Amino acid sequence: MSTNVQKFPSQFPIPARAGSDPRFPAPTGAPGSKVGPISMGRAAPNVSPEISKVGLSEICLSYRTRSGERLLALDNISLQVRAGEFVCIVGPSGCGKSTLLHLIAGLQPQTCGQILIDGKPVQGPGTDRLMIFQEHGLFPWLTVGQNVEFGMKMKGVPKAEREEKTRYYLRLVHLAKFEKSYIHQLSGGMRQRVAIARALATEPDVLLMDEPFAALDAQTRDLLHDELERIWSASGRTIIFVTHNVREAIRLGDRVVLLTFRPGRVKSEFLVELPRPRQLEDPTVARAAREILDELRDEINRSLEAEYNEGVKPHVEPGVETGARL
């Protein structure tokens, strides 16, 4: 095994009690944490002292399908994310990784378990944790500037301050010139940058990114990786980043969490200790990706098998069959 990537034992099955098993020493984060020891010895200038920023304990989510059967989408997911940490969640499509972000965002309630932000349980959406969607979710009826301003406007931030911050965050993503443009006039990469600026403008502690770069071409994605890393290290935000691209996860993450195919469970966690900035095409990144991919492969095979066997049974879109609160 590469020395750059440490694999932690699978979290499933869950040990009887955290700390009682030598493989699962006492939790390092909040009480109840079941995350293995994460080596903190590396140079991580912007990772603040170890506090659990986002804590998931024994999350599960089940749907009742139209035919009345229960479908378990997420099962027993426990995860602690430190403040300032960049955690990537990977898994085959249909593992519920996007849904997990929706739960953390509070856009949808979980069936069991608890989600804590700074030790407080999540009750509905909050601007302390903002989601960046794959389809960016920008409002086409507003200009770029008005989009960035939106969250602040909802919060009741005074106009002058809003305008100043809007300009600041648009400069941060190099889009100052496009303040008055409409969304459809921008390219895909620019739209994602607006989405990032819009999320940052409400100054959340946690950014939840749902495959934000999946629909972009390779060059644009590379640029946005650099830009995201820069913003992350400058702002010290906590980022939970969902992707199906293992290399992307290693390129960006401090830690990579691998989910299993339906129901989504934490299969294993990898600590990525490669020096930053990393390049997507670095051999070290590729080697690390190979390791994770080997584990992921089984899950992908399972998902493909399920797809072939079940015929038309698309994976569950977040919020579609659950009657998400709206």
Partner 1 sequence: MKRAARYIIFYTALFGLWTLLAELKIWPPYLFPAPWGVGQALYAGFQDHSYGIAIRVSMQRVLIGYSISVVLGMILGLGVASNKFLEETMGGLLVSLQSLPSICWWPLALLWFGLNQNAILFVVIMGSLLSVTLAMEDGRKQMPKIFGQAGRNLGAKGFKLFWYVLLPASLPFIVSGLKQGWAFAWRSLITAEMLYLSLGLGQVLMMGRDLNDMSAVIAVMILIIAIGYLVDGIVFKGMERHLQNKWGLTPAT
Q: Which residues bind partner 1 (CB under 8 A)?
A: 102, 105, 107, 125-127, 130-131, 133, 135, 137-142, 150-151, 153-155, 182-185, 198, 202, 319-320, 323-326
CB of 9 to partner 1, least distance (A): 35
Q: Which is nearer to partner 1, 102 or 244 (CB)?
A: 102
52 in helix, strand or coil? strand
Q: How far apart are CA 300 and CA 92, in angstroms?
A: 5
Q: Which two tokens stand for residue 250?
A: 């290693």
- Of 112 and 154, nearer to partner 1 (C-beta) is 154
- The CA distances from residue 193 to 10, 170, 222, 312, in Å, are 35, 9, 13, 35
CB of 201 to partner 1, least distance (A): 9
Q: CB of residue 74 vs partner 1: minimum separation in angstroms?
A: 18
112-117 β-sheet, strand order: 70-82, 52-64, 112-117, 120-121
Residue 153, SS3 per DSSP = helix
Residues 6+ apart with CB under 8 A from 41: none
Nearer of residues 24 and 178 to partner 1, judged by Cβ: 178
Least CB distance to partner 1 at residue 126 (A): 8
Bridge partners of 64, per DSSP, are 70
Nearer to partner 1, 23 or 325 (CB): 325
Query: Quick one: tokens of 202?
Result: 């409400």
Q: Which is nearer to partner 1, 154 or 234 (CB)?
A: 154
Reading the block at residue 120, the tokens are 């407080």
Minimum Å gap between C-beta 18 and partner 1 is 32
Identify which of residues 59 and 101 has a Cβ nearer to partner 1 in the complex.
101
Residue among 78 and 322 whose Cβ is closer to partner 1? 322
Give the pairing of strands 52-64 and 70-82: antiparallel
Q: How far is the CB of 227 from partner 1 (least distance, A)?
A: 21
> Does residue 58 come out as left (phi exceeding 0), alpha (psi in the -120 to 50 range) or beta?
left
- The minimum distance between CB 133 and partner 1, in angstroms, equals 6
Count how many Cα atoms sit within 13 Å of the Cα of residue 280 in the half-sphere of its side chain: 15
